[in-house]
A = this chain, B = another copy of it.
């Protein structure tokens, strides 16, 4: 059966001050369509059903996740005692799924992306699931690039091997790290590179086999956790073992060295909403090129992201800035320096201003 695992463990400091420790990015309504996690859930449930939808999040977010997704069976929310990157997350979910459904095919999806065409999204996921269900191997969905983005990794397309429901399935030739602008431009023009979306499909058995082969320490830890599942020591063992699992990503730890990998190029509108300026990818701009949320009066202000999460925001004479106001914290930063926000949040911690973290 087809399952979906939604990864909702991120801290999301890049969306400070809207995001906080207890209100990470996936709980924000960045795209104006409800919290991102809720939107992801709603997007995938028509394909797999709520009973086969799973959410992996940090333990402190389990209660809020259940509250946000009341249709989801409570046991389908997996609370990590500690964040150990995506390979551990994917492996743990596969082990839990596999114990319940030995023939499970699993889609692995980030909770905090925005997708413009839900039908196309589900059609692609269904095709990917169908392909790995029959052929095995690990499959990643690659987004046809629309701009020479230097903030993403890329996927190099290999030869086309199959067509499922009209969608081409290619061999995945290799992963490419975030490129320089010139190279990114060539990638977009060349047509055989895709953005690495971080969305995957596999049979859980195949994923666990690759983990056992490439990441034996992870496999061993997952075995210990699985052995305790359903016993009185379940929580204790999870708390003990999970924080010691090797910290690596699905891309680096599993996909790059996997024996058989596929990719399906997709072209539905997609954004990982990676930082404040990316709001311009998911919300319409006004005639002056400003993206606004909330009550904003923008005088002689252009190309800016203006967000009032409660407070009224009044700006004069800004060009290409991000202004985000919440009742207890305000950020003003040039859009092209928005990647510094994460570091600034660290500085706030150093200053002891924990109440706004």
Contacts and interface: CB of A to CB of B under 8 A. Distances in A.
Interface stretch (A40-48, A88-96, A279-287, A340-348): A340-348
Contacts of A314: 17, 329-333, 344, 348
Given A316-B332, A333-B317, A326 B311 contact: yes
A164 to B, nearest CB: 47
A180 interface: no
Contacts of A199: none
A313 interface: yes
B315 A332 contact: yes
A337 interface: yes
A315 B297 contact: no
A328 B308 CA distance: 9
Contacts of A310: 327-328
A344 B295 contact: no
Contact of A330 (B318, B323, B334, B337): B323
Contacts of A313: 329-330, 332
A333 B347 contact: no
Contact of A328 (B311, B323, B344): B311
A94 B340 CA distance: 60
Contacts of A329: 311-314
Contacts of A334: 316-317
B299 A340 contact: yes
Contact of A347 (B297, B327, B330, B351): B297
Contacts of A315: 331-333
A311 B311 CA distance: 11
A356 B317 CA distance: 21
A315 B341 CA distance: 10
A18 interface: no
A56 interface: no
Contact of A327 (B295, B311, B318, B337): B311
A277 to B, nearest CB: 13
Interface in A283-309: 295, 297, 299, 308
A315 to B, nearest CB: 5
Contacts of A316: 332-334, 337, 340, 344
B330 A330 contact: yes
Contacts of A353: 295, 312
A123 to B, nearest CB: 42
Nearest to A348: B297
Contacts of A326: 311
A300 to B, nearest CB: 8
A138 interface: no
A104 interface: no
23 contacts: A295-B351, A297-B344, A297-B351, A308-B330, A310-B327, A310-B328, A311-B327, A311-B330, A312-B329, A312-B330, A312-B356, A313-B332, A314-B331, A314-B344, A315-B333, A316-B337, A317-B334, A317-B337, A323-B330, A323-B332, A327-B327, A327-B328, A332-B332
Given A314-B333, A332-B332, 7 more contacts: A310-B328, A311-B330, A314-B329, A314-B332, A314-B344, A316-B334, A323-B332
Interface of A: 17, 295, 297, 299, 308, 310-318, 321, 323, 325-334, 337, 340, 344, 347-348, 351, 353, 356
